[in-house]
Every structure is written in C-alpha cells, then in structure tokens.
Structure 1
C-alpha cells in the first residue's frame, strides 16, 4: 500500500488518493461532463496500478500523474485524458516560468504574482538575490504586525497565526509598503501621505525634501498647490514675479523621476488645485504635452458653487491665495468644458468634489488633497494604511458567505490598527498627525470576479444592489470592530473633537477606503478593486522570447462546462479581449463576462456611487470610455457622479494616450500604476 509520495522539490509527504480523484473530476468538468462517482473509481484503479509498480520504492508526483493519464485512456475517457494532459502541460509551463524567474513559490501563485513579488516585494540579500518565498514574506509581515498585540496584553501568537492565515489564503492583503517593509530595517508601512505646500521658497523645498523621504520609503504623496501665488504675482523679497504652481510641480516631478520608492518602484504624486485659483486653466492643460508631469495624477478641486454654476450658468471668481483679492472671473460652464476636453484627450485632470469631502470628514480641519489615486483624502502630514478583502474568495455555491466576510472585516480592522503602532514613520510630523486620527482604510478587491461567480452581470442593477449591500455590511462591521478596539485600547486622541464622539469609544477616525489594488490584486489572483475585468485574455511574455496566452480561468471553466470551448475561441478572445462580438458564445455568458469597455459609462458611475455611499474616505475607480466617446460623454459622467454622491471621478477614453492596459497588449498589469 502506498503511504508516501515524493514532491517535485524532493520532500516526502503523506500520499492522499483523494487528490487523484479531485484532479480527475476537474478534468471531466473541463470538458463539460458531470463525472458523478467515476473519479473515485478511476482513482482506485490508478492507485492499484501504482501499488503494483512501486512495491519497493516511493513514487514521485510525475509517476502518479503518468499512471492517471494511462488509466483515463485505457478506461475510454479520451476527452478527459486530453484535458488532464493539457492541464499538466500548463502547470509545467508555469513551473518553468517560475524557475526562470528564480523564485521558490511555496503557495502555487500565478506567474504574474510571482513576477510582481520578485520585482517589488520579496526580501533580497546584499547581492540583490531573492532570499524569501511568498509564504515567508507573509510570515514576516504577520510576525511584525502581531507584535502590536503585546502592547495591549493580547495574544500575540494567536493573532500572528490569524494574520498569517488570511494573507496566505489570499483572503486579505495590506497595501504594498506593508508587504515590502514589515520586519525589515526600513519599516515604513503606509501607502498614502499628504504634505502641505506653503507659499514660500523654504516651504516649497521643505515639502520637496519630505516627498523624497516618503518616496524612498515606498509611499505615495499628495499635494495641494492651491496656496501658491499665481504666475506673474509679485515676490516682494526679490522684487521679481512668481512662476506659479505648475512650474513648481515640474520640480517635484523631476525629483520624483530620480527617486525609486524603497528602491523598488518609482514615486507617485497627486497634484490638486482649487477651481478658483487664477492659474487653473494652465493647470488643467498641464499634462497635455508628452513628458510633462508624468509622475503626477492631477485633480481639480471643484466646489459645490462651481458645480451649480457650471450647470445653471454663471461665472466663478478667481482669487489670489496670497492676497485674497479677486483677479478675474470665468464662465463656470466654459471651465468645466475645458476640464472635460483635457480629460477626453488624455485622462487628466480628474475632479474631486472638495466640499463634499470636507462635509463627510470627521474633523473640522479642511482637507485640500488626496493620495495619488484619489481614494484617500488626508490632512497635511497624515498617512493612512490600506488593506483589501478578496471578495472573489468568499463565494460558495453561488452565494456570498457573509459570516466569513464578517470575520475577515473584524480581523482586517485589527490588523490595520496594529500597523499604525508598528509603523516606522519617515517624519516626526507624520507620526504625530497619524497617531492623532488613527485613520485606516479597509476596502475590497475581486468584486468583478465575485459577480461572475454569482452569475451577476457587472452591467446589471443587481450589481449596484450588491455593491451597496456589501459595502454597507463592511462599513457597519468595521466600525463596530473599531468601537470594540476603542473600548479595549482607547479612542484616537482627537475623538472628542470629531463627529464620532456620539459613540462610547472609537479607535479609528476613518475605517473604509476603496483602493485600486493594482499589484496586490495580481498577488491575490483576482480582479482589481471594484473594477470590471479589463479583458478576458492576454498574451504575456514569459521565459526568453516565449509567450503565454492567459484566458480568464472563470471564463474557461464556463466555456468548458457549456461545451463551446475551443483553441480557436481562446485565440479570438486574445485578439478582441471581449466576447461580445463572438457569434457562438451564448448570450447569458456574454452578459456575465462583460469587460470594462463593454460596461456603459453610467454603470461605472453607479457602481462607484454605490460603494461611496458606505465608504468613510473615497473610492478609486476609473470610468472607462470607448475611443469614439465625445467630450459631452465626459461631461455627462461628471454630472452623474456629482448627482449620485461620489467624492470625485476619473475618466479614461481608450487609446487617448499611453496607458497601463491595452487590448491585445503583450505585457499588461491591471489597476492604477501608482497604488498597490
């Protein structure tokens, strides 16, 4: 009787015949068959054959798989055998690619996940060689963050194991700097920072220095340049004239270009200017020339007054922030059209609804800027720790497991609060401001894949309803956990000055944020944030000169189950990215597997608004527009986003400028290129 099996890495482990049955069942389902009890019977035959062959030795994994192949063929299941062989070959390709990357993958992650981890996350020795597996990275993070539990007399080891499990299972992942730096000398764990920019040469270059330190530690920075005097204004100290906010932004951009965040990724910035600043028109068009402000996202801070006048008619006054004097006026509708036209051309600027942000902010102090992707409004010197729950892993038998979600929310809030205590802040001012408010931002990823598993179209009213239900649940459970932590550990220091003082206690002034999860969603093997799938298939470079066609596993599974899968279909999807114009794909499959450009712009906005309704901070979401969209389409998006209660909105017209994602592109990464 076979008791042991040799793994590919040489380890001898206990033999489990149930794994053979499960693999055979997967092969049957891949060709659209319901195998019933057949896999168990075939597994018994394969085990009998293995016992005859390996009476005096330990078989290897490949030996057993060879026997399974022969058993399927001999028993007359040629199609299932073919599916099993193809699966083995794909897994071999994946292992070869990972070997080429030089990473020992102990969690069986995707090639893309391993490649991202190697480039940005895994610990290296002094020679630059990777000396950490993905599992060891998660253990390093859990070891470090759980130490905070000891400060409050709690069970460090128990929480270490819980934190480790939810990360290893890919149910929850924190923002990139936490994965990169926890337990290492750098120790900076936050993704989001906002720095003030004062209207003086000293103040400007202090901010530049502080930005450099934050970028070096792995964080991204947001700035409001609204306090800087406009171009041509007097500079009394020198008798000269000011060059204006945009010129100083170029200095920040150039400095960012030469600093790699934490030595692993380039810096990222958000630049914000109020709609009533005299230089607003220059700011709106600042990124239209190639090569200018490439390390910045830019957003216009639009007031309620501006939005009202842009639609009903009227002028807004332009005010010199140095003197408070009105320097001119402009038709609000004309300015709105300029914003929409520039965004139509290249995606920038975005709009943030600054009055709405401040109305929802728990403190009287006024927010002026956000982090690079716009989901985290912060006061000057504040930082925030983000993390996201993987919704796609919570679907069981077509339904969301609300109990598992509740447990994950509570554990994730605790984890993020511990991160605040274990963080090593790049500036003393940041440590003080962060500890005063203890802001965290728990969000989600995998929303699109969750919908697919539940057979719900992203374009449907049901998707909007689910978005509201899920975020309402996360918000309520997250706030309840923060209240429990507040009672046990003490409320955030500014609690009595906040709008939350009606509670008995509260540990964190904000709890929820929807981040883009650009790279952590790759690690988790799911869709980015709350975005729809960008495409159903990609061709990626792997190995030297080799290419690997990747089709959405969920789509492949559905196509096999429904009997319309073929190699030709894979190739056609890779060319088109979508199935909407492929004739022989059933309509219900087309409805379920919509991609970003298949979803109407209005539905993008409705999904964003549904999440924003129950999110403390803000929501990172791109409203994708087809290449033939008009400026009027952009204006309609702005108006709908404002009417539905969003705190900001970003549009991107396909092909309007260089972008991270392309249909048919050979190397593609989903999500915002700045936030992780």
Structure 2
C-alpha cells in the first residue's frame, strides 16, 4: 500500500509529495555539477519504493524520509551527491534554529519557513509587534492576516445588500457614535469567516460605515449591518482575505511599509507619501511644522515646496525686519523631523523643493554642501523644480529672471548656464540636489482643471507628485514571481497571471483609502477627492536574470515597457469596474478623463501599444474611474527584502558580497545567480571570492561564460545612459513617476551630470537623481573591491542610438552633450571638477579618526562616540544597524534614496 501522508516537524499531517523529494535530490546533484535527469528519476523511484516498503499504510515523519534519501543516494554510488544532501540538510536545520531565535518561537509554521533568514530579520526588526519588554509577540502569519483582514473590510460595506451608489438613505448615526466610543469592547467579537476583527479593525469598519451613511449610501442601519456580519452574511469574503494573505505570504506583492506596520494597530495610518503646503506667513509656516510632525509621528514622509516664501533679506512688514528665507525654514522642518522617530520605526523623511526662478535658488543648491560631519538637513532630500522657460533660456543663451514670490517682481537676472553648472556640480559631489521636471509632470496632468492648477511638489523620493494635502498608498508587485518554465525548462513570463494580480493589488490600495486613519482631516478630505493609488513593481532585475535578458539591452527595455504598460492598463481596468459599483473619484467630472485623455505618455504613441487602449478609454468615458492616478514605481528597500527579491526597478547592487553574522562570515549570493552557477557546475568558494573581490560583478572574469556576463549585470556594470533609458522606458507607461538612481562611476564628470539631466528631460523622465560612486560618504567599501580595477561600463548599442538621435533632433544640445566624448569615456576629463566661482570640494573628505578601516559588514565593533561620529557623518551610515548592533554599515544609493543593504532602512519611508 502506497504512503499517502507524511508528518511535518510541526506535527501537521500533509499529503505525501514525491516532487519535493525529486527537487531536493536534484538540488544536491546540481550542487556537485551532476545534471542527469534519467539518473535523477531512477533514484527518486528507488526512494519512493523504499518508503512504501518500510511504511506500508503508516505516516512517516519527514526525518524518516530524509534518512531514506541519504541511504539510497549512497546505494546508487552517488557519494558526492549524498554528501551535498547531508550538508544541505544540516544547513536547513541550522537555519530553522536561527529562525526560531529571530521570531522568539519554539516551533515554526509553514509561513515562517517560506521567508529567508534575511526577510525574517527585517520583519522582526521593524514590522512584528513587540511587548513592553521589546519581545516579539506576533508571527509573520499574524502580521499578514491583520493586513489582509483590514484590506477586505470595505468589500463588506460596498456589498450591494447594504450599499447604494446613488442612494439617499437616512440612518440614525447615534448608534454609530456609540460603537466608535466603545470600539475596544468589540475586540474579536466579529469575524469574516475564520478571520477575527480586532478592535482596530472594528473601529475602521464602523468609521467607514459612518462616512458612507453620511453620504446617504447605506441601505441598512449599523445594528442591522453588524447583525448580518455576526450571522455570517459576509463569510463569503473570507476567500478574499485568504487571497490577499496568499499573495503576500507567497511574496507576490507587498504594501508600503506604513501599511505593513499600522494595519489593524492603534496608529492605523497606511499611507507613505504626503505633501504639505507652506505659505508666506508665520501661521502657515508653523502649521506646516505641526503637520509634518503629525504625519511623521504616524510613519509617513512629507514633501514641501518652499517657493512661496519670500527670499532672504526681503522686507517683513509686521516687524519692519528682514526675512530669513526658505532655507532657514527648511532647517526648522529638519529639526522637527529630527526629534520624531516615525511611528517608533524610523527618523523623518522630507523632500524640500525650490523652483528654479526663486531668488534664493543658489543658496538652496548649496544647502547641503557641509553635510559631511555636520549633519546639515540630514532628514531632507532636496530637489530643484525646473520649468520649461529655464531650458528655453539655456537653449537660447538668454539671461534668466529670478522673481520675488511676494511681489511677483523680477529681482535680478542670472546666467542659466552658470546655474546649471552649479546644480550639476553639487549633484556630482553630494548626490543632492536632484531635479524635478515640473513641465513634464504637468504635460499630461488630467487633474489640473479639477485642482485649479499644476502639481508643484512630490513625496520624499520623487516618484509620487502630489497636490497639497494629498497622500498616496503604494504597493509593489514582484515581477520575478511571474517567470515560469515550460516542459522543456525554458523560461517565460506569465502575462495573464500578472494582469490578475495587478487588479487585485489595485483593489487592495483602493480599499486602503477607505480604512486609512489619516493623520490630519485636510489629508483625509483631499486624498478622497482624487483617490490616488500607486501600484508599483519590484524584482525587475531578478525577473530579467530568470528570463536571460540583459537589463541594458533593447530586449530588456522592451520588457520594462511592456511590464509597465500592463501595470497601468490593468490598474485602470480595476478602477473602471470599481467606478461602476462604487462610484468615481469625486473630482472626476472636472478632470480631463471625461474628454478621453490619460495621464500616460505611452497612450499617445499608438505604435508601441501591446494592449487595446482605445477600448479602455471608451470604457472610462462611459463609466469613469475610481482612482485619479493608478501607478508609480517606488523604492522598495526593506519591502523587497521581505519579498526576497531585487529592489524596485534597479539592477542588483552586487551578485556576491561578504556578510558578517554572529557565528562568522559568509558570502551572500543573489539566489537566481546562485542557481545558474550550480546548474553550470561553476559553484565554488573560490569563484565567490573572486566575484566579491571584483566589486560583486562578473565582468572581466574569465571563469564566467560570456553569455552570463551579458545577463548578470550589476548597477555599476550598467552605463549611466542605459540607467536613464530604463527610467524613461518605464516612465512612458506610468501615471505618476519612478524612483530610480542614475549610477555613475567615481571618475564621472560634471559634464556627464549635465548631459544626464538634459537627456532625462528630453526622454520624458519626470525627475532625475544622479549618484556618482563615492559621493554619498567619506569611504566606499560596499563590496570587497579595491583589489582590482573595476571593468568600466559601456553604453548599449540601443543607448548609443538614442543618445545620437536626441542630439540630432535638437542641435543646441551639442553645446552640453559631447556625444563622441561620452562614448569614448573622455567627457569633461580634461576640465577641472569645480565650475567657475566655486572654491570648495567635499567629494573626498576623510574624518581625522576614520570610524572603519575595512568593509563595514565585517569590521570589528568600532569605538564610536565622538558625537556618534558626527551623527553618523550626516547619515552616511545606517542609524538602525548602529543603534541595534553597534555596527557601522555604509548606506548605498538605491531607487533615488540612501538605503542600508543589511536591514533595508531607507531615508524614504515607503520602503
């Protein structure tokens, strides 16, 4: 009689699955370079036969089965394979013990097992609930259940049995008030199938009922509704909760960090991105400081445009004094952020914007030049907001007027070329400021007539342009999960499943607006006017690895375009369906959607369509849309770590790098790359060390086949031209923007930065963040490196063609873009780094007492203080890793934001 069941280590009885045995043996065979399917199948048959002989009609334990596998491998003479299997079994046992320590548990469940050690460390460090003693009291299963349960609560209230989209029903709200005042008494009383609502779920449910009832949309009273809930009328929605739980625990998508932390918890704030207005009077300035404090206390990040503030030295009527200017008030906001640990999880994150016409623009550009060692504006990313008239002045060689926002009068005229030079130099030396192209952002802005003007601000990482007091919830879909394999083992991308998941994630985010506890009433009101959501993606690099497509290739860029086109098309598909059932966003009738316009550049280029956009637009004109904007590409630092995938839309930082843990050192290897090494019989400690010593790159290593070198590229293997093209191709199909770092080598020049700005602008990017390797901090040992010269990145053929086409189309660009010099690597190399009039350099400052002398990951615990190394050198090192472990882990630039490679901490709160 065949064995049908098996006992797992946690005592569960599950169906016997011979495929799991097959995969375990195959993995051991690949480990030692054996790739023989006939031999594999023969061994599997022997193992299964032996199990059936020994456990006829019984239920064997998993350990019994693994013992039989070892024995049969040795009987087959596969001693090296048996050794690899035994070692892997031992390693798995060690990993299980480490996971138990991390999670503070005696026994792991199947959800714990799905996540890597690194993912669980990140979950434990910031996401799982702890008690007053700091002990973890929540499992990953419980975390994802509370997130999924909250996400489905709006479905109950929009059920046609209780909701009327066009209704004018009157309900007595006195009982609603009672429930809101006594919500703590209803902890665990109600449930959706097997999923119990905790008191915070219940409070959000009743609050949403109140909102809908005030609009006359509720057909039944609150007591009737709760009676239906108690009697199981909504238990069918259990499958919806299960589906969101499955998608998150399957690492298919992850919400932004605030949603993972706050769902079903006291703060209840789910959004990552906010914009706060700041007007030219003291009341507004202090209100802005208050608003920033309230948002950051809840876990959000804020963007502020300081351009309405009068310039430094300008007249102040109330005191007959002189104004201190926008930069001084940035320091005020920075100080507010400094004293608020956001939601107890991370420090403040702000985007400070000044538009290029402001008289204080030069002071703003240099606002962070003394950051190293002095911690100036460490809670700010700063960006210059540029409009079309500046580029016209630069093109025509005309003086550019600076205008006092208080009077509207011209203060002086400047040379736009000189300002452009200063801006590029500061980005070259400090990775700040970035640049925002406001004319590109507003070119397809369908909300402009509804909101009464253009967008003039973004969230901290720049990927989410927002109106004043708007917010946005974001979530990222793991592209790597949709790479499947056919019967012959060839990879393909499952576009149908991807389309399904996009719509589920769009619904998740739309629902999140309804159950969000916004930190300010103004934000609640303005967010619900447009119901903006941000479906995004991560795992792009890993997906391309699996598909065998180079990131920096025409095929790679075509995949990026198609993946983003699907993202926006199917997010809109959900939004149209939701509009039919629940209603459009309130400002829809005042928007340009009703005229058949979309905030998507790709829509206006029919020749690149893969999907029927004309049909979609007709649906929108007929039924409207639920959400004013639908897609963005945010940074995904710790979120992608939880999903065990590559970050956002970036190439991978390093294929191999050394990590230090309590029991010693080991090499971290990208999982997709590791599988390919083993498949080809190239896996060894020697090759890992060589790759680590080669800056985590395989370029120029003779041991690695040419086709692998072509596909497995790192961020520094990709030329900055190709980085810009990746962002531009993705931007084509987004309703909002993309967070991306344009990586440049250490020997890149200010001329390269200027060329990058102009190319990004002309290719339709909405902003750009350039990072020259080594400019973020005082020492750069992100990977083993230093022992050999890095192989210089070369632009792809596609990038060369695009570069030439852009300059040929507008010959004036040749004054700033030397095509031949860029292509041969001499661009600006003969010029001094400093533009005229600048007499300083901060690019290579080294502190008198360097805090580390080797790679931070494997340094001995340093003696820190000296004012905590000047507050971690202006946050060049991770504050979380220092505060938790006393380790100085150097940040790297990723998705336009400084990010910790060890724990995922980022200056951007989204990730």
- Does residue 1:392 correspond to 2:476, yes or no? no
Q: How does 1:533-572 map to 2 (within 5 A)?
A: 533-542=652-661, 544=662, 546-572=664-690
Give me the whole-angstrom Cα distance separating, in 1, the residues matched to 2:699 and 2:395.
Answer: 36
Q: How does 1:174-253 map to 2 (within 5 A)?
A: 174-253=255-334
Say which of 538, 541, 564 aligns to 1:448. Answer: 541
Corresponding residue SS for 1:322: coil
1:45 matched residue in structure 2: 46
> 1:356: how far off?
1.4
> 1:266: how far off?
1.5
Give me the whole-angstrom Cα distance separating, in 1, the residues matched to 2:378 and 2:52.
Answer: 63
Gaps of 5+ in 2: 161-235, 486-490, 596-620, 785-854, 858-888, 890-900
1:347 matched residue in structure 2: 431
Say which of 519, 524, 533 aligns to 1:431. Answer: 524
Any conservation in 1 of the 2:31–2:681 contact (CA below 8 Å)?
no
Q: 1:201-228 deviations in whole A, cap 9, x for unaligned?
A: 2211111111111111111111111111
TM-score normalised by the chain length of structure 1: 0.95
- Does residue 1:485 correspond to 2:578, yes or no? yes
- Does residue 1:29 correspond to 2:30, yes or no? yes
1:649 matched residue in structure 2: 768
2:126 matched residue in structure 1: 120
1:75 matched residue in structure 2: 76
2:250 matched residue in structure 1: 169
Corresponding residue SS for 2:37: coil
> 1:368: how far off?
1.4
2:153 matched residue in structure 1: 147
Give me the whole-angstrom Cα distance separating, in 1, the residues matched to 2:660 and 2:8.
Answer: 28
Say which of 632, 640, 644 aligns to 2:759. Answer: 640
Give me the whole-angstrom Cα distance separating, in 2, the residues matched to 1:103 and 1:353.
Answer: 48
Q: 1:60 to 1:312 in 2, by over 3 A?
A: farther
Q: 1:323 to 1:507 in 2, by over 3 A?
A: same
Give me the whole-angstrom Cα distance separating, in 2, the residues matched to 1:90 and 1:578.
Answer: 26
Q: 1:156 to 1:48 in 2, by over 3 A?
A: closer
Say which of 102, 105, 109 aligns to 2:115. Answer: 109
Q: 1:606-625 deviations in whole A, cap 9, x for unaligned?
A: 11001111100111100011
1:580 matched residue in structure 2: 699
Q: 1:563-594 deviations in whole A, cap 9, x for unaligned?
A: 22211011222232101032211111001000
> 1:69: how far off?
2.4
Say which of 138, 148, 153 aligns to 1:132. Answer: 138
Say which of 369, 373, 385 aligns to 2:457. Answer: 369
Any conservation in 1 of the 2:104–2:135 contact (CA below 8 Å)?
no
> 1:6: how far off?
4.2
Give me the whole-angstrom Cα distance separating, in 1, the residues matched to 2:479 and 2:436.
Answer: 27
Give me the whole-angstrom Cα distance separating, in 1, the residues matched to 2:558 and 2:325.
Answer: 46
> 1:31: how far off?
3.6
Any conservation in 1 of the 2:399–2:414 contact (CA below 8 Å)?
yes
Gaps of 5+ in 1: none
2:886 matched residue in structure 1: none
Any conservation in 2 of the 1:518–1:673 contact (CA below 8 Å)?
no
Any conservation in 1 of the 2:350–2:381 contact (CA below 8 Å)?
yes
> 1:126: how far off?
3.6
2:494 matched residue in structure 1: 401
- Does residue 1:91 correspond to 2:131, yes or no? no
Any conservation in 2 of the 1:103–1:118 contact (CA below 8 Å)?
no
> 1:497: how far off?
0.9
Any conservation in 1 of the 2:536–2:634 contact (CA below 8 Å)?
yes
Corresponding residue SS for 1:388: strand
Give me the whole-angstrom Cα distance separating, in 1, the residues matched to 2:593 and 2:25.
Answer: 55
Give me the whole-angstrom Cα distance separating, in 1, the residues matched to 2:94 and 2:43.
Answer: 26
Q: 1:118 to 1:660 in 2, by over 3 A?
A: farther
Give me the whole-angstrom Cα distance separating, in 1, the residues matched to 2:92 and 2:660.
Answer: 16
Q: 1:326-377 deviations in whole A, cap 9, x for unaligned?
A: 1112111111111110011111010000111122222222211100110000
Q: How does 1:499-648 map to 2 (within 5 A)?
A: 499-502=592-595, 503-504=621-622, 505-542=624-661, 544=662, 546-575=664-693, 576-648=695-767
1:270 matched residue in structure 2: 351
Any conservation in 1 of the 2:379–2:907 contact (CA below 8 Å)?
no
> 1:3: how far off?
5.5
Q: 1:470-516 deviations in whole A, cap 9, x for unaligned?
A: 21122112112211111111000000111112322110000111111
Q: 1:410 to 1:55 in 2, by over 3 A?
A: closer
- Does residue 1:335 correspond to 2:419, yes or no? yes
Any conservation in 2 of the 1:297–1:373 contact (CA below 8 Å)?
yes
Any conservation in 2 of the 1:528–1:671 contact (CA below 8 Å)?
no
1:474 matched residue in structure 2: 567
> 1:58: how far off?
6.4
Cα RMSD for the two superposed structures? 2.1
Corresponding residue SS for 1:92: helix
> 1:517: how far off?
1.3
Give me the whole-angstrom Cα distance separating, in 2, the residues matched to 1:22 and 1:212.
Answer: 52
2:504 matched residue in structure 1: 411
Q: Which moved more, 1:530-539 or 1:569-578?
A: 569-578
Q: 1:93 to 1:317 in 2, by over 3 A?
A: farther
> 1:71: how far off?
2.4
Say which of 458, 477, 484 aligns to 2:551. Answer: 458
Give me the whole-angstrom Cα distance separating, in 2, the residues matched to 1:335 and 1:469.
Answer: 38
Q: 1:240 to 1:482 in 2, by over 3 A?
A: same
> 1:22: how far off?
2.0
Q: 1:103 to 1:275 in 2, by over 3 A?
A: farther
> 1:315: how far off?
1.9
> 1:47: how far off?
4.7
Q: Which moved more, 1:99-108 or 1:455-464?
A: 99-108
Any conservation in 2 of the 1:173–1:387 contact (CA below 8 Å)?
yes
Q: Which moved more, 1:454-463 or 1:568-577?
A: 568-577
Q: Which moved more, 1:368-377 or 1:115-124?
A: 115-124
Give me the whole-angstrom Cα distance separating, in 1, the residues matched to 2:447 and 2:435.
Answer: 22
> 1:38: how far off?
3.3
Give me the whole-angstrom Cα distance separating, in 1, the residues matched to 2:427 and 2:462.
Answer: 16
Q: Which moved more, 1:268-277 or 1:102-111?
A: 102-111
Give me the whole-angstrom Cα distance separating, in 2, the residues matched to 1:15 and 1:331.
Answer: 75
Give me the whole-angstrom Cα distance separating, in 2, the residues matched to 1:92 and 1:634.
Answer: 50
TM-score normalised by the chain length of structure 2: 0.71
Any conservation in 2 of the 1:517–1:671 contact (CA below 8 Å)?
no
Give me the whole-angstrom Cα distance separating, in 2, the residues matched to 1:489 and 1:347.
Answer: 44
Q: 1:64 to 1:211 in 2, by over 3 A?
A: same
Q: 1:488 to 1:661 in 2, by over 3 A?
A: farther
> 1:73: how far off?
2.5
